[in-house]
Amino acid sequence: MQETATVESVWRYPVKGLSPERLASVTLTPGDPLPNDRRYAFENGPSGFDPAAPTHFKKTHFIMLARNERLATLRTRYEDATTTLVIETGTETVRADLSTADGRASVEAFFKAFMPVELRGEPKLLESPGFSFSDTPARVVSIINLSSVVALEQRIGRPVDPLRFRGNLHVTGLPPWGEFDLLDRELHVEGGPRLKVVKRIRRCAATDVDPVTGIRDLAIPRTLDDAYGHTDCGIYAEVIEGGELAAGAQLRVV
């Protein structure tokens, strides 16, 4: 029988460390991550990042959940057509066009007031056309096997929100930890994109943070290490042929 997985949901993270956005579908391009995924990041003090010659920097240079869990208490959304970021703290607090100097200044001022103790310098908004502020230098899509999350829940004895892992694709139909058997194999959507699995994803303290409350209430990497002898959950895949990918799509393992 042909091995398949089903795309249960599609997610992007327009701003590193801020809210996920669920998509009905997405058009993938060879060699690229999801469009607008980690398009922006907030520099936590001077990093040396050059938008004219962007290179990968460690996530510690940016505002991020691993160290700044209060970010999870914000609700944010990005409007592609107007390059607008909306930040809610119970009610709408900021609405800013990130293509303008005034818009960037307003979101920078918000974070300067929101987390002054955690900042090492000015929280500067960074962007470079086509660049993704991913945790890895590779231009990839991240995939979370929901069966593995269920297995982890059973180990912990508490629910584990899959959004803790900040993946792009949530999939069903694979056995627990079966995603690790897909390394160097391809995932095909009939009439759509093809992806090649290239790497397991090592997890950090960001997964300890509840994505709704912002409370650091679990020890995900430690639990993974104690239970399985590794701290991995999820896989990275490169897009090798483009096309539309929608929730409900079948991924055929080749």
Q: Please name each of the domains of the chain with its CATH number.
A: 4-33+136-253 (2.40.33.20), 41-126 (no CATH)
- Between CA 183 and CA 230 the distance in angstroms is 16
The half-sphere exposure of 106 on its side-chain side, counting CA atoms within 13 A, is: 15
Amino acid 1: pLDDT: 47
**In the predicted model, what is the mean pLDDT of residues 147-152?**
98
Amino acid 185: pLDDT: 97
With contact defined as beta carbons under 8 Å apart, do 241 and 21 qualify?
no
Q: Is 200's pLDDT higher than 60? A: yes
**In the predicted model, what is the mean pLDDT of residues 182-203?**
97
Q: Nearest CA to 210 among 14, 20, 111, 69?
A: 69
**In the predicted model, what is the mean pLDDT of residues 149-170?**
97
Burial state string for 133-151 with b = 16 or more CB within 10 A and e = fewer than 16: bbbbeebbbbbbbbbbbeb
pLDDT tens-place string over residues 224-252 = 999 999 999 999 999 999 999 999 999 99
- Between CA 246 and CA 164 the distance in angstroms is 22
Amino acid 2: pLDDT: 63
With contact defined as beta carbons under 8 Å apart, do 253 and 224 qualify?
no
Segment (H or E) for 194: strand 194-202
pLDDT tens-place string over residues 25-69 = 999 999 999 999 999 999 999 999 999 999 999 999 999 999 999
pLDDT tens-place string over residues 6-31 = 999 999 999 999 999 999 999 999 99
Q: Nearest CA to 124 among 72, 70, 69, 50?
A: 50
